[in-house]
């Protein structure tokens, strides 16, 4: 337990941020999983819309500081690469 007022506040903030980060990461994982399932099923039209949704969630997560921008860029690049491979 925190011994100082400021330390107690930091502990409360840490809990809030952890919960928010967990929620954002969960949304990202769900969006990416949904896209990969569509690609695996061969549903190219659905996969395109799900790719846009997954990209949007990833970019939002980078904006919020949940993921680093380069991490997001790498993941988006790999998703697009997968989409292009599925089209070919």
54-84 pLDDT, tens digit per residue, is 999 999 999 999 999 999 999 999 999 999 9
Intra-chain end-to-end CA distance of the chain, in Å: 57
Q: Quote the pTM value.
A: 0.87
What tens digit of pLDDT does each residue of 14-30 get?
999 999 999 999 999 99
The correct CATH number of 5-87 out of 1.20.58.110, 1.20.1280.50, 1.25.40.10, 1.10.150.240 is 1.20.58.110
* All structural domains of the chain with their residue ranges: 5-87
As a whole number of angstroms, the distance between CA 45 and CA 32 comes to 16
């Amino acid at each position: 337990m925190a011994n100082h007022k400021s330390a107690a506040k930091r502990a409360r903030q840490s809990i809030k941020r952890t919960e928010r980060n967990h929620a954002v990461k969960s949304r990202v994982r769900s969006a990416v999983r949904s896209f990969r399932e569509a690609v695996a099923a061969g549903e190219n039209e659905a996969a395109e819309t799900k790719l846009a949704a997954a990209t949007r969630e990833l970019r939002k997560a980078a904006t919020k500081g949940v993921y680093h921008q380069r991490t997001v860029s790498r993941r988006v690049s790999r998703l697009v690469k997968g989409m292009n491979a599925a089209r070919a």
